[in-house]
Amino acid sequence: MEVAAKAFQYIWENQERFLTAVQVHLTISVTALLVSLLVCIPLGIVCAKSQKIAATVMNSINTFRVIPSLAILVIILPILGTGFVPALVALILLACPPILINTYLGFRGIDPAVIEAASGMGMDERQILRKVEFPLAMPLVIAGGRTAAVEVIASATLAAFIGGGGLGTFIVNGLGMYNFPMLLVGAVPVAILAILSEVCFAGIERWVTRYQRD
């Protein structure tokens, strides 16, 4: 209890610092997620339509995936230096695989008969994409986003190691100074953010799969 009280006290006394950290954490996570979505959804669709591209992209993704997030941060360091941007790049790299793979699977999984019916009725490619393929692939795409979001929020903590700022700063400092309350100041809000993102995505997922329920 004492630890929690001390943590609150720390936040009370360093309100501005705490809020900035939360803000940086959110900014870096949301930006990384948005960029990954914008890049990987179109790329995933292209892969789903072309087996050749798919083979290359999926293979490299799967190789890349085995590298742990901390290692990615460390590898980025000598290339891009320290600060917000290198941390952002690392997080984008982390968020891409689940989104890309799920988008690919989502579009590949559509019953070809449905597509044939759509084009047989005279829908052009854009109409098919917008009205048929997107809505049908959406549940999997969202699931990919959900995985990516949690991974990004958690890994953004590590960004502090390369000077990216955010809530991880408290954790790094707390660990360094054997200051347990300060460690909590970083860790608990990160956990809460991760849970919030889960809840948010679960809601979206329910909404895009409403046709699958009675």
Partner 1 sequence: MANHSIVFDKVTKRFPKADKPSVNEVSLQIEEGSFVTILGASGCGKTTLLKMVNRIYEPTSGRIFVEGEDVATVPVTQLRRKIGYVIQQVGLFPHMTIEENIATVPRILGWDNKQIDERIDELLELVHLPPKDFRKRYPRQLSGGQQQRVGLARAMAGNPAIMLMDEPFGAIDAITRASLQDELIQIQRRLHKTILFVTHDIEEALKLGDKIVIMNNGEIQQYDTPFHIITQPANAFVSRLVHSEDVLKRLSVMKAESVMTEIEGTVHPNEIRVSKEENCKTILMHILKSEHDSVIVEDGNQTPVGRVTLAHLKIHEALSQSLSAS
Residue from the set 16, 52, 63, 211 that interacts with partner 1 by CB under 8 A: 211
**Which is nearer to partner 1, 2 or 214 (by Cβ)?**
214
What is the DSSP-derived secondary structure letter of residue 14?
T
**Which is nearer to partner 1, 173 or 209 (by Cβ)?**
209
Site for partner 1 in 39-98 (CB under 8 A): none
CB of 109 to partner 1, least distance (A): 12
**Which is nearer to partner 1, 67 or 117 (by Cβ)?**
117
CB of 108 to partner 1, least distance (A): 16
Mention every residue, 6+ apart, whose C-beta is less than 8 A from residue 133: 45, 107, 110, 115
**Which is nearer to partner 1, 13 or 214 (by Cβ)?**
214
What letter represents residue 77's amino acid?
L
**Which is nearer to partner 1, 114 or 177 (by Cβ)?**
114
**Which is nearer to partner 1, 135 or 176 (by Cβ)?**
135
What letter represents residue 192's amino acid?
I
d(CA 140, CA 209): 10
CB of 116 to partner 1, least distance (A): 6
Using CB under 8 A, count the residues that bind partner 1.
Answer: 19
For the CA atoms of 55, 128, 43, 32, what is the dihedral angle to 10 degrees?
Answer: -140
Site for partner 1 in 106-165 (CB under 8 A): 111, 113-114, 116-124, 127, 132, 135-136
DSSP string, 102-140: HHHHHHHTS-HHHHHHHHHTT--HHHIIIIIIHHHHHHH
In three-state secondary structure terms, 179 is coil
d(CA 190, CA 64): 26
Mention every residue, 6+ apart, whose C-beta is less than 8 A from residue 162: 73, 76, 77, 82, 83, 86, 87, 90
CB of 211 to partner 1, least distance (A): 5
> Rule CB under 8 A: which residues touch partner 1?
111, 113-114, 116-124, 127, 132, 135-136, 211-212, 214
